[in-house]
Structure 1
Amino acid sequence: MVDQAFVAHEIPEEKVDELLESGDVEKFIKLLQPVEKPIQIFADGKTGALYCECHVTAENLVSQTTPDTPLDPEASADYRANRDLVEDHAAYEQMLLDARLGRTFSNIVCEFIAGDPKPLKVVGGQHRFGAIQDAFDEWTVNGIHGVKVYFALDTEQRLDVQVISNTNIEVSRDLLDRMFETVSGAELRTWCQKVGILGEKEDFADKRKRGGSISVRQARSFVINYFLGQEKIGETFDQTETTPQVPKTGVRTVPEWEQIKKQYPDLWNDPGLERAGREFQALVDKQRQSFGKNSTSKVSNPDFAEKAMNDAILSAWAFVAGLLSQNQVRLQKHFDLKEKGKPDPLRAALLVKGKHMTDPEQYRGLGYRTDPKERGRFVELFWIQAEKGSGFSDKMIAAAIAAYHAKAAILDAKAKKEAI
């Protein structure tokens, strides 16, 4: 079917009618004035998403486009799907120079949402768009650039476009996790904001960095391990597997996470989990303050300041909080760790001295790795500390490492006996 605005290629008739009725293509043409007329509309074979590929001037592109793109405009309009611009990256700096010299860019992926002040939303290629915008605003370079524009996307199609567009460049798994979690709902983000793990209207990190926001993976890990710890209540600690889990990352379905949400449907209203979240953030804050500008510490080590955000420490701390959730005396000692230790609660300088004779030569001490052994060792350490309540010491760290290996031997022997 041919219309003066566009030509549709192998698109179901009802979709063509919907597109005609909405007038989105006509509005796009009026605002962006693409070189190609009529434009060609195609349907993605996998998702059915409708799109066109055409060329527009930098002037029209800049005036109608924004990289500030929500993944779910209705349910989570305040939260972005795109990565932040990496302005100090050499590749981006080169893009800026090329754009000023008239470089033509292409495959800037966008969604057109009629009626918005900036109706063209950048889904992929935000660095290229940034270079085009800079060249036009600062140097009036008005080249013609290629865009791929989607129309009338639903949430699943939008997610698919976001993932595919960002997969064309190096993208962190943290960003993918954030996108997937946004589509599944706002519960995890809302809970993190409620307990102070995230600030008001703050979003999860799109890439791990010192002093940055918590990632989706870390937030999931905290919740998962709190409830896994609860499930071990009543068991003999010295003979029980207590290795925390760290969930998969960068994938749409995370079995460990889905299982916890199914098993604990009211988890977002769990007072024990809420208290644990607040207490853990207090530990993070205290650890960072211990090495901040106003601290009395003479040690300048950014790794020490971020020690509480190590995945092994985070998951083990949450696991022990769940395990002690019915023992208020020991639980309070666990929470009070934030007030112990000089110059810092986690005694980072002592942790790095914690080693076992089986550790490889390149092992840097507790608190640098995140593997199961590291996570298991920290459970033992937090467990002992919650009994003593005196904060970490070199003897306590040595005892925790020894206890982990003793337990591992007991569990290995038990498994071998059961296999006979």
Structure 2
Amino acid sequence: MTDGVETLDTRLVGTLDPGVQAMIEDFVEMCKPVESLPILVMRDKATDAIFVEVHLLADSLVPAATVDVPLDPEDSADYRANREVVEDHVAFAKMKDDAKNARAFSNLVCEFTRAFNEDHPLKIIGGQHRFTAIQEALEGGVNEHHGVKLYFALDNEQRLDVQLISNTNIAVSTDLFDRMTETLAGPELRQWCQKVGLLKDGEDFADRRARGNPITVRAARTFIINYYRGTDIEPKKFDSSATTPVILKSGVQVEEWTELKLQRPTLWEDANLQLAGAEFSQLVEAQRKRFTTAAGKLKPGAADSAEKAMNYAVLSAWAYVSGVLSKNKTRQKRHFDLRTAEGKDPLNAGALAKGRHKTDPENYRGLGYRTDAKERSRLVELFYLQAEDGSKITPAMVDLAIKKAVAKEALLEVSKASEKANP
């Protein structure tokens, strides 16, 4: 009730939980929506989430709201589900201009809760760019009303659903989807990456893949999956085994990743996996350092070479070979010691760029640029070959590795054909 006026119209939802009803009345009292009372309360029948659709003046919206919203406030309160605000995007600049010209925005998606950050109970789940534009316009004296879809008492599954549907209008990246689903699954992957150095302490996964960004969930999952796939290979049968790494999908629920965690519930304590992760982190750092000036700036024209280790084909193949060699510590150490190459970058990006087979198309740019299966299998042969004597990557070694990969592919095709011919 507000001054004796009936606050809520619940005919579409029936009897409300008293706690939810109190939240909605708290919102009405605090933010004073411009709609006449009683406000119609609705239910999303897909998830049972309770919400209202209202309009708020900017001077009521802004003080009560925040874009600093965790997906899981209990177990991962320090990590955000929202995309980062892209300050330099042309569409955002236009949005801010529109707000200053008194444009009324709609479909800001929020959750009202005082369970965390009590002073700002309006949590912006979708529309952080619009909210930021409204905030800046209000600072300039523009106080317009804006449409808000406001949820109450969301659980984590409902919150994830709202995060996803509310970001559809701004084309939520597949990497952000992965980060959100992994956050909901638990902090283990993030904590593992922080422990081995693939993320800094307190750092979250990138919401989109780009040079210089932190590692993505997809890359971290791909690394771990391929390490364990490699451990399944018998080293003595390496030359006659299919040894092509995989790159996990992004933007969808990945069954292979779910199955791995079920099959290996102690993988987060696996010392051998941790060692491989830490060594790869140092390889990434060594590769970047080779193309960075003393002042910490990237050398001209070196962006691709500096990030070569983070190419998905390179990452998956390096992890795969780490797993293959987990039973041979001497050779595995040679594999890890690749990062100590003197006088050139560890991955010898120049030699990789010149590597090609006579069957490759004219537009083939050399080894380490693409991420297809052929590229991944060639890099596995290269890393495995390098670990034989630890002589580091050379043009001759790249050439031999490519030829070995092509020969293995032909051998496996013959083996399959033979099996069909002689069932």
Same fold (TM over 0.5): yes
- CA positional deviation for 1:136: 0.8
Amino acid paired to 2:27: F
Normalization by structure 1: what TM-score? 0.96
The alpha carbon displacement at 1:235 in A equals 4.8
1:132 and 2:131 aligned: no
Structure 2 partner of 1:92: 92
Residue 33 of structure 2 aligns with an amino acid whose one-letter code is P
In the alignment, what sits opposite 2:316?
315
Q: Does 1:109 align with 2:116?
A: no
In the TM superposition, what is the alpha-carbon distance from 1:17 to its structure 2 partner? 3.7
1:157 to partner: Cα distance:
0.4
Distance (whole Å) between structure 1 residues aligned to residue 123 and residue 308 of structure 2: 38
3-state SS of paired residue (1:122): strand
4+ long deviations beyond 3 Å: 15-18, 295-300
Tell me how far 1:10 sits from its aligned partner.
Answer: 2.7
8 Å Cα contact 1:307-1:348 kept in structure 2? yes
Contact 1:310 1:367 (C-alpha < 8 Å) held by counterparts: yes
Among all aligned residue pairs of Structure 1 and Structure 2, give the percentage whose two residues are the same amino acid: 52
2:281 corresponds to:
281
Q: Given that residues 291 and 300 in structure 1 are in contact (C-alpha distance below 8 angstroms), is that contact kept between their aligned partners in structure 2? A: no
Stretch of structure 1 that moved more, 41-50 or 108-117: 108-117
Ranges in structure 1 where 5+ consecutive residues have no aligned partner: none
Q: Secondary structure at the match of 1:147?
A: strand
Question: How far apart are the structure 1 equivalents of 2:42 and 2:359?
Answer: 60
Stretch of structure 1 that moved more, 235-244 or 151-160: 235-244
Output the amino acid matched with 2:69.
Answer: T
In the TM superposition, what whole-angstrom CA distance separates every residue of 1:363-416 from its partner, at most 9, and x where no partner exists?
Answer: 111111111111111100000001120110000000010000000000011111
How much does 1:27 deviate?
1.0
The CA deviation at 1:341 is 4.9
Q: CA deviation at 1:299?
A: 6.2
Question: Contact 1:290–1:296 (CA<8 Å) still a contact in 2?
Answer: no
**Distance (whole Å) between structure 2 residues aligned to residue 104 and residue 79 of structure 1:** 31
Counting only pairs closer than 5 Å after superposition, residues 299-314 of structure 1 correspond to structure 2 as 300-314=301-315
Deviation for aligned residue 1:171: 1.7
Deviation at residue 38 of structure 1 after TM alignment: 2.1
CA distance in 2, matches of 1:362, 1:179: 37
Provide the C-alpha distance between the structure 1 equivalents of 2:342 and 2:376, rounded to a whole number of angstroms. 21
Instruction: Classify 1:298/1:135 alpha carbon distance in 2 versus 1 (closer, same or farther; 3 Å).
Output: closer
Partner in structure 2 of residue 27 of structure 1: 26
TM-score by length of 2: 0.95
Residue identity opposite 1:375 in structure 2: R
Aligned residue type for 1:53: E
31-40 vs 91-100, greater mean Cα deviation: 31-40
| Partner Cα separation in structure 2 for residue 341 and residue 229 of structure 1 | 28
| Partner residue, 2:176 | 175
**Distance in 1, Cα, partners of 2:293 & 2:30:** 50
Q: Which amino acid aligns with 2:200?
A: G
Aligned to 2:6: 4
SS state of the match for residue 324, structure 1? Answer: helix
CA RMSD of aligned residues (A): 1.6
| Aligned-partner residue type, residue 8 of structure 2 | F
C-alpha deviation, 1:360, in angstroms: 1.5
The equivalent position to 1:120 in structure 2, one of 119, 122, 135, is 122
Secondary structure of the 1:411 match is: helix
Structure 2 distance, partners of 1:171, 1:9, is 34
Residues 114, 34 of structure 1: alpha-carbon distance in 2 compared, 3 angstrom cutoff: same
Q: Which residue of 1 aligns with 2:73?
A: 73
Change (3 A) 1:299 1:106: closer
User: Runs of 5+ in structure 2 lacking a partner?
Assistant: none
Residues 288-337 of structure 1 deviation map (CA, whole Å, 9 limit, x = unaligned): 11111228997631011000000000010000001101111100100000
Deviations 1:221-267 (A, max 9, x none): 0110110000113451111000001111101x212211211221110
User: Residues 12 and 41 of structure 2 are in contact (CA less than 8 Å); yes or no, is this contact kept in structure 1?
Assistant: no
Counterpart of 1:269 in structure 2 is 269
**Aligned residue in 1 for 2:214:** 213
Secondary structure of the corresponding residue to residue 161 of structure 2: helix
Contact 2:55 2:147 (8 Å CA) reproduced: yes
Rate the CA distance shift 1:67–1:35 in 2: closer, same or farther, 3 A.
Answer: same
Distance 1:316 1:302 in 2: 21
Read off the aligned partner of 2:119 and give its amino acid letter. Answer: P
How do residues 179-258 of structure 1 correspond to structure 2 at under 5 angstroms? 179-251=180-252, 253-258=253-258
Aligned match of 2:60: 60
Displacement after TM superposition at 1:12 (Å): 4.7
| Separation in structure 2 between the aligned mates of residue 187 and residue 289 of structure 1, nearest angstrom | 29
How many Å separate the matches in 1 of 2:114 and 2:297?
56
1:400 aligns to what SS in structure 2?
helix
Aligned partner of 2:352 in structure 1 is 351
Distance 1:296 1:105, change over 3 A: closer
Q: Distance in 2 between matches of 1:268 and 1:415?
A: 37
CA contact (8 A) 2:386 2:393 kept: yes
Q: Is the contact made by 1:229 and 1:321 (CA closer than 8 Å) also made in structure 2?
A: yes
Name the CA distance, whole Å, in 2 between partners of 1:213 and 1:129.
Answer: 26
Provide closer, same or farther for how the CA distance between residues 156 and 235 of structure 1 changes in structure 2, counting only shifts above 3 A.
farther
